[in-house]
Amino acid sequence: MSLHLPRRGRRAGAQSSRELILASARKLFSEQGYDAASLRQIARGAGVDAAMVHHYFRNKDELFAACVELPADPRAVLADVVAVPVDQRGTAILLTLLTLWDSPVQPALLALVRGAVSSRTQAALLREVLAKRIVGVALLDLPDDDGGKRLRGSLLASQLIGLMVSRYVLRLEPLASASHQEIAALVGPTLQRYLTGPLD
């Protein structure tokens, strides 16, 4: 590739090519979802060669991460959670996410939520992040009872998003100052019920 596009990253037009690719990717990911959008389509939308996409982004995954400016890959963050039996996973997910939210990446995560609330495109991207990278991981090994798995995922996401917004954006007290262990005791059972409890 370096033969075809030598030092492309250093040249004047480079930034705009990368930006064009990102803009096309954001559009296609948000319209079609992560799985359906192809690198070929994204390149076409940006008016560049497919090789150019590969020059800037190792793969579709890396391109997606750049689109949403994720400060950390949630799947890596949640890797240990998968090892926790499903009947104890609610609290494990919560403690892992609280550690992430209260880490130096917090501003980037809040920017992601702010973007999603104010833009349809970014809302669609956050929806993909939630579905594929957070909820998807949380639901690993759960049986798919007639579409119930997706419903469980969206319920789980609803409480996680609400907790994040109330604690870090609205700063509702005493939730905003509560310790991770306190929140785990309070909200963990909700998540566990959404994951494995009866749904009606």
Q: How far is the CB of 30 from its own copies (least distance, A)?
A: 12
Q: How far is the CB of 11 from its own copies (least distance, A)?
A: 36
Q: How far is the CB of 113 from its own copies (least distance, A)?
A: 7
- Number of residues that this document lists for the chain: 200
Of 33, 178, 180, 196, the one binding its own copies by CB under 8 A: 178
Near its own copies by CB under 8 A, which window of 19-27, 87-95, 98-106, 146-154?
A: 146-154
Residue 80, burial from CB neighbour count under 10 angstroms (0-12, 13-18, 19+)? exposed
Contact 90, 192 (CB under 8 A): yes
Tokens representing 107? 């501003």
Q: What angle separates helix 180-196 from helix 148-164, to the nearest 10 degrees?
A: 160
147 in contact with its own copies (CB under 8 A): yes
Angle in degrees, CA 40, 41, 42, rounded to 5? 90
Q: How far is the CB of 67 from its own copies (least distance, A)?
A: 16
| Chain Cα centroid distance, residue 182 | 25
**Residue 174: other Cβ atoms inside 10 A:** 7
Residue closer to its own copies by CB (options 59, 177) is 177
Tokens representing 64? 């997606």
Of 36, 51, 79, 185, the one binding its own copies by CB under 8 A: 185
138 in contact with its own copies (CB under 8 A): no
172 in contact with its own copies (CB under 8 A): yes
Of 130, 140, 146, 192, the one binding its own copies by CB under 8 A: 130
Cα–Cα dist 60/116, whole Å: 21
186 in contact with its own copies (CB under 8 A): yes
127 in contact with its own copies (CB under 8 A): yes
Task: Map tokens 């389509």 to a residue.
Answer: 41
Judged by the rule CB under 8 A, the positions of this chain that interact with its own copies are 113-114, 116-118, 123, 126-127, 130-131, 147, 150-151, 153-155, 157-163, 165-167, 169-176, 178, 185-187, 189-190, 193-194, 199-200
